[in-house]
């Protein structure tokens, strides 16, 4: 599943492969817990967390991996050292297997994002 037509995140999670459902559900729980004041929406076929109408975090079940989209450049730069050993695209942290999701790193990234607004790239 690359892009979903689900109306909400519950529907999205119901569509993902069974072997990824727990990890993606945990990502959602972390986003909801660590991003107070953010709206959970579906955009671009995936769950997105917006502050004041701007998406700052998203996640998705891609064909080959689970992705976490870090849309804030300042957060990516602040965590460059910790992200260096991971599979990273321009703004996408990829986890090839559900059991390889580094939830401690994700929590820290979410907390840094929640501290204040920043430019989305």
Q: What is the DSSP string of 33-60?
A: HH-TTPEEEEETTEEEEEETTEEEEEEE
**pLDDT for the residue 4:** 82
C-alpha 115/C-alpha 61 separation (Å) is 26
**pLDDT for the residue 61:** 94
**pLDDT for the residue 16:** 93
Q: Specify the pTM.
A: 0.92
Q: If pLDDT is split at 50, 70 and 90, which confidence band does 116 have?
A: confident
Over residues 88-103, mean pLDDT: 93
C-alpha 47/C-alpha 8 separation (Å) is 8
C-alpha 17/C-alpha 25 separation (Å) is 12
Q: Which residues lie closer than 8 Å to 93 by C-beta, 6 or more apart? A: 67, 68, 69, 70, 83, 86, 87, 109
Q: In CATH, what number does 9-114 get?
A: 3.90.1150.200
Q: If pLDDT is split at 50, 70 and 90, which confidence band does 2 have?
A: low
Sorted by where each begins, the domain ranges of the chain are: 9-114
- Report residue 116 as tokens: 């204040």
Taking only the tens place, the pLDDT of each residue in 25-73 is 999 999 999 999 999 999 999 999 999 999 999 999 999 999 999 999 9
Over residues 93-111, mean pLDDT: 96
* Residue 3 vs residue 63, higher pLDDT: 63
Is the model's pLDDT at 1 over the cut of 50? no
């Amino acid at each position: 599943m690359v892009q979903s037509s689900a109306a909400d995140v519950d529907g999205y999670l119901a569509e993902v492969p069974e072997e990824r459902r727990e990890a993606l559900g945990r990502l959602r729980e972390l986003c909801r817990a660590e991003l107070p004041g953010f709206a959970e929406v579906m955009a671009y076929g995936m769950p997105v967390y917006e502050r004041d109408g701007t998406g700052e975090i998203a996640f998705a079940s891609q064909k080959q991996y689970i992705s976490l989209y870090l849309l804030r450049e300042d957060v990516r730069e602040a965590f460059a050292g910790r992200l260096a050993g991971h599979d990273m695209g321009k703004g996408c942290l990829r986890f090839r297997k559900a059991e390889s999701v580094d939830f401690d790193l994700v929590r820290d990234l979410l907390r840094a994002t929640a501290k204040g607004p920043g430019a989305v790239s």
